[in-house]
Chains A and B, each alone.
Chain A
C-alpha cells in the first residue's frame, strides 16, 4: 500500500505506435522505485465500430476518428497515475472496426473472456455483443449509443451506460425550458431514424415537465443546398402557432446549424443545434473541468467531446473502483462497479454513480451553445427524494428495464 516516490522520476507512459485498426496501448511504469509487489494489471478493452459520417456542412471540424478512444486513453493514464500509489495498474487494449466489418469477430479476438469492454458502437452492435454467449461474464460500458431503449426494454445485465441517454438529454433541455417558462415548442425533425428518436424523447420530456409541442414538422435537407437556401427555405417549416422555441432534431447535423437565425419567428433554436444538451463540451469549465479539458487537449491535440468524456469516464470508473477495492481482481472490481454503494467523481460537481435499475450513469447534463454553458441540469427547483440527478431520465418506478432486478 505504500509507494515510495523519489523526485521527478515518474515513469513515462509508453505507447506503441498506432497500427491500423488494432491498437494496443499498454502502460509500463519505468523506474518507479521500490513499489510493493504489483498485482496483475486490470485488463480493460476498448472496442469501437466506426460510423460513416456526412461531410460537414459549414466547414465545422469533422468528428475526429479517435473520438472516444482518446478519452479512454486519458482514463488509462489517469488510472495508472493513481494506481501506482496503491500498487495497482491497468492496461487498455483497443480495437476499431470499420463500417461493415464484423464486430462480434473482433470481440472474440479479444481473447479469453474479456471482463471489461468499453464499447463505442451503435445500439444494434451493443445488443449483438451483449447477447453473445462468450460475453456472459463481460461488463460492457456503453460510451457511444444514446438510445433510450438500451436502458429500457432492451436493457441487459452487466451493460452499463456512461453516455447519457436521449431521454436524459431531452429532460435536461425541457427542465431548462420549464424554468424559463418557454414551454411552447415548435418541433422540427430531420428524416433520419435517430432524429425521430430524438424528437420522441423531446415529446416524452415535454409531457413530464409540463411543456407542450404546439406543432411538429419534418424537414428533409435532401435535394437542396441549405447553405444557399436557408434564408427562404426554413420559413415555411417553422411557421406555426405561437411558440417560445423551435426545437430541432437533426443528430447528424444535416441542416440544423443553418436553421439558427433562419426561423420564421424570432425564436431561439434548441435541441441538436442551437442550445444543446450534452454530457460535455468545450465551454465546460467549472468543478475543475478545466483540468480535465487541458489534460485531454495535451493528449489528443483537440477539444474533448461528449463521447471522449464518456470514454474517459468509463475507464476512470473502473480505475476508481479498483482503487477503492484495493484490488485489480476483476470479480471484485465488477461487483463494486455494479453495486449501489459505488460513487465516482467526474468533474461535474457531484458524485456520479450507476443507477441500480438500468445501469445508467447518473450525471449532470450541460446546456450549451458554442460560446458558453448556459445552464447545468438538473435545474434548480427540480427535486427528487434520492438525488436531483434522478430527475434526468426514467426514474425507478417508471423504468421498463427488468434485467437488473434479479432476485437476491
Chain B
C-alpha cells in the first residue's frame, strides 16, 4: 500500500525537514546526495542511498532497488505470494503481506531476515500502518474481514466484518478513520479507529482496489478496477463528490483499469496506475481532470513516490519490471528488471531518522 506508507511518512515532521533542507541546499536530483546531506546534518545514522522495495508475487521474494543507481542491489525470500508491503517510520522494519502464507511478516530490511510473523487473519492482501506506527489494518481477502493488529504487542485488537474480498486499506492522516475497499461488494467501508467498528459504507464502481487519503485527510480517493473509474469521496460526508474516468486513444475502455493510487503532499497531483493499459494517469487533484498518461511496463499495479516526490516507481506485473518516472517532467526515465509478477512497492524511509514525535494519534 504505497499511498499509505507515504501517508505515514508524511506525518513525520523530520522527514519533511530533510526534504526541504535538502532541496534548498542541493540541487534536486540526487536522492543519495540528499540523504548524505541529511547524514551530515546529523539526521541520519548512516549515509545510505534511498532504497525501493518491491514484492514479487510469483517468486516469493522482495527485490531492493538502489534509488541512486536504479539497479537491483539484492533480493531476499519472503512468504508465499507477497503483495502489500510497508515500512515502520524509521525504516528499520519492513512489513510484508504474504497472502498465501496467511501471515504478515516482520522483516529486517537490511538483511532480509524474518524477525517474526504477526497474526494477520486469513489471506492478508494489503494493509496500512496507522500514524501511531504500530496499529496495522489488514484486509483479509478470503474471509471478508479487516484484522487490526498491534505490531508491538503482536496481538489482534479486532476483526471487523466488511464486504466480500476486502483489498485496499488506508488510514486517515489523523489516525481516526480507517477504510477498506471490498472488491466484490464494491464499497468503501469506513472504520472508526477509536472504537474499531465499521460505521458506514460508500458504494463505488465495480471492484474497488486501492484507497488513499489526501494529505489533509479531507478526501479519499478510491480506484475501481472493473468500473474503470476513480471515486473522490468527501471523508466527512462519505459521499462521492467526483468520479474520474479515463480515455486513451487506441485502447479499449475496458482495459483502462485503475488500481494503485498515490497523491502528492501539496495536493496538486494524483497518479493512478491503469493496469493492463500499461499507463499511469496523472490527474490534477484540484480540477480532477486527467492531464497526462505516462507509458510504463505491462500491467501496472502499484506506485510509490520518494519522500522528496521527485521520482515515482511503478510495479509492472506482466513485464516483470519497475518503471521509474521523473515526477517533474512526468516522463519515464528507466525500467528496472525485478522478479516475477512484481506487485507491491514501498520506499524505505531514511534509516536513522531521529525519535519520532511523541503523542501520535492512536
Interface residues of A (CB under 8 A from B): 2-10, 78, 81-82, 85-86, 288, 291, 294-295, 320, 323-324, 343-345, 349-351, 387-389
Contact = CB atoms under 8 A, between A and B. Distances in A.
9 closest A-B pairs by beta carbon, nearest first, are A5-B198, A82-B185, A85-B201, A345-B206, A345-B226, A10-B161, A350-B254, A7-B158, A345-B207
A350 B207 CA distance: 10
A345 B186 contact: yes
B41 interface: no
Nearest to B190: A2
Interface in B242-258: 252-254, 257
Nearest to B187: A85
A8 B145 CA distance: 8
A7 B161 contact: yes
Question: What secondary structure prevails in chain B residues at the interface with A?
Answer: loop
A78 B184 contact: yes
Nearest to B250: A383
A5 B165 contact: no
A288 B183 contact: yes
Nearest to B238: A2
B163 A5 contact: no
B67 to A, nearest CB: 32
22 contacts: A3-B200, A3-B201, A4-B198, A5-B162, A6-B161, A7-B158, A7-B197, A8-B161, A10-B144, A81-B144, A81-B163, A291-B141, A291-B142, A320-B186, A343-B227, A345-B206, A345-B227, A349-B276, A350-B254, A387-B252, A388-B254, A389-B254
Contacts of A351: 206, 226-228, 254
Interface in B165-222: 165, 182-187, 189, 196-201, 203, 206-207
Contact of A288 (B165, B198, B276): B165
Contacts of B206: 343-345, 351
Contacts of B227: 343, 345, 351
The listed residue with most B CB atoms (<10 A of its CB), out of A320, A345, A387, is A345
A294 B201 CA distance: 25
The listed residue with most A CB atoms (<10 A of its CB), out of B142, B161, B203, B252, is B161
A4 B199 contact: yes
Contacts of A349: 226, 257, 276
A337 B227 CA distance: 16
Contacts of B240: none
B164 interface: yes
A376 B206 CA distance: 21
B143 to A, nearest CB: 10
Contacts of A8: 145, 159-161
Given A344-B206, A345-B186, A7 B159 contact: yes
Nearest to A82: B185
A389 B163 CA distance: 29
A349 B163 CA distance: 20
Contacts of B184: 78, 82, 291, 345
A89 to B, nearest CB: 14
Nearest to A8: B159
Given A78-B184, A85-B189, A291 B165 contact: yes
Interface in B222-241: 226-228
A235 to B, nearest CB: 42
The listed residue with most A CB atoms (<10 A of its CB), out of B144, B196, B226, B276, is B226
Contacts of A82: 163-164, 182, 184-187
A188 B206 CA distance: 42
Given A323-B186, A345-B186, A5 B164 contact: no
A338 B44 CA distance: 62
Contacts of A344: 206
Nearest to B167: A288
Given A86-B203, A387-B252, A5 B186 contact: no
A81 B276 CA distance: 29
B11 to A, nearest CB: 27
B57 to A, nearest CB: 12
A239 to B, nearest CB: 41
Given A82-B182, A350-B254, A351-B254, 17 more contacts: A4-B197, A4-B199, A7-B158, A8-B159, A78-B184, A81-B144, A82-B163, A82-B184, A85-B187, A295-B142, A323-B203, A343-B226, A343-B227, A344-B206, A345-B184, A345-B207, A351-B206
A78 B186 CA distance: 11
Contacts of B226: 343, 345, 349-351
Given A86-B201, A86-B203, A350-B226, A387 B253 contact: yes
B186 A3 contact: no
